[in-house]
Amino acid sequence: MSPAMVMAAKTKQNDNLESQYQKGVKHLCENGINKVPKKYILPVSDRPNMKDRELINVNKQNLKLPIIDFAELQGSNRPQVLKSLANACEQYGFFQLVNHGIPSDVISSMIDVSTRFFELPFEERAKYMSSDMQSPVRYGTSFNQNKDDVFCWRDFLKLICNPISDVVPHWPSSPVDLRRLVATYAKETKYLFLMIMVSILESLGLVGTTENKTEEDDILKDFQDGSQLMVVNCYPPCPEPNLTLGMPPHSDYGFLTLLLQDEVEGLQIQHQDKWVTVEPIANAFVVNVGDHLEIFSNGKYKSVLHRVSVNSMKSRISVASLHSLPFNYMVGPSPKLVNEENPRGYKDTDFSSFLEYISSCEPKRKNFLESRKLC
């Protein structure tokens, strides 16, 4: 075989491998693998190595995310709970929300239908593959499969949820109950987000008095009309979980993310320069501050790095509901939170700026948020 033929054969082999990777990690697992392909192996410095695992084990019992009781937040103990909420957003950027009022059957149905979607034949899932980041439905893999040098061990289904009556017909038609169950879940989480945002704004001192009731109504109307993106994640069992991650360290772009997890651990947050695991609480939401809320609060509330580890035994399902203002709205620091002692720390931004940024480079850590800072 001539050198040119050898080169052509290698190129074809590489193209075939790249094509397989683009089909997703679930597809790889369905075809049987016992080693992590090179495309998914992180540089040594980025791996969830044994040192990290020792830190996780040491801190697991010591670090508990603040727990916010939503029922108490609506009752006579509200002032005290608001203080706890403010502390959670300042010190952790995360909290667990319990007694939130969303029926348990709505939650269990969302996990169930998500699981069933990823169990569909690849050909059915592949109908929704798209590189258009503004598509109302998009099935894909990794973090950003068009830009990632190393892929991560995740497949996802992204669903734009607003206006819901317009987008539901574009969602997957299989499983047959997916549209109905996800639409119910989307409506419930949107309402919960609005209720939490009232508390967030009050904790920042921006609403809650009769003098600014009209202003409060205007702000909430903006959020009512705001963006909601549902990201359903599947992390299949990984034969060598110490070599890869389900998602790399990153922050979320919006105001708040409401994360629903199954019982399998995987979410890790960076706290005091250590990676620590968030233990799932049944029927609870993990809520985290996004980049837009950090900007809006002029840095008072922190958008925190988080990542996802994988394991060799169990598949993991999570559902992230990301909420912000409408896509075309500009987000900047609230004027009431800017003064001589706390000068403006961020540029205005909008969703299109975020899309343009991640479309032009490989997203890493909090680089987008860093690009919005004034100093």
Question: Does pLDDT of 273 surpass 70?
Answer: yes
Q: How many CB atoms lie within 10 A of CB 9?
A: 11
Q: Which domains does the chain have, with CATH numbers?
A: 3-372 (2.60.120.330)
Give the C-alpha distances (Å, rounded to integers) separating 1 from 6, 10, 15, 304: 6, 12, 20, 55
- pLDDT, residue 12, reads 39
Question: Does pLDDT of 366 surpass 70?
Answer: no
**Model confidence at 195, in pLDDT bands (50, 70, 90)?**
very high
**Residues forming a β-bridge with 321:** 230, 258
Residues in the chain: 375
- pLDDT, residue 371, reads 76
Q: Which among 137, 110, 146 has a CA at the least distance from the CA of 320? A: 110
* 69-106 as b/e: b if 16+ CB within 10 A: bbeebeeeeeeebbebbbebbeebbbbbbbebebeeee
**Mean pLDDT, residues 91-119:** 97
For the chain, what percent of residues have pLDDT higher than 90? 68
**Sign for the pseudo-dihedral over CA of 303, 220, 287, 150:** negative
Q: Which among 314, 308, 307, 305 has a CA at the least distance from the CA of 263? A: 314
Token pair for residue 291? 């980049």
Q: Which of these ranges, 166-175, 255-264, 268-277, has the smallest mean pLDDT?
A: 268-277
Contact indicator for 204, 295 with CB cutoff of 8 Å: no
How is 40-78 classified by DSSP, letter by letter? GPPPGGGS--HHHHHHHHHHHTT----EEEHHHHTSTTH
Measure the CA–CA gap between 368 and 346, rounded to whole angstroms.
12
Bin 253: left if φ > 0, else alpha if -120 < ψ < 50, else beta: alpha
Tens digits of residue pLDDT in 197-228:
999 999 999 887 545 566 667 778 889 999 99
Backbone φ and ψ of 8, nearest 5°: -65, -40
Distance of CA 360 to the CA centre of its chain: 20
Measure the CA–CA gap between 113 and 175, rounded to whole angstroms.
7
Contact indicator for 291, 368 with CB cutoff of 8 Å: yes
**Sign for the pseudo-dihedral over CA of 355, 359, 363, 368:** negative
Q: Which among 315, 323, 316, 318 has a CA at the least distance from the CA of 286? A: 318
**Mean pLDDT, residues 160-169:** 95
- pLDDT, residue 359, reads 59
Measure the CA–CA gap between 264 and 311, rounded to whole angstroms.
9
Composition of the chain by helix, strand, coil, percent to 5: 40, 20, 40
Question: Does pLDDT of 62 surpass 90?
Answer: no
Q: Is the pTM of this model over 0.75?
A: yes
Distance of CA 105 to the CA centre of its chain: 23
Most confident of 15-19, 28-32, 237-241: 237-241
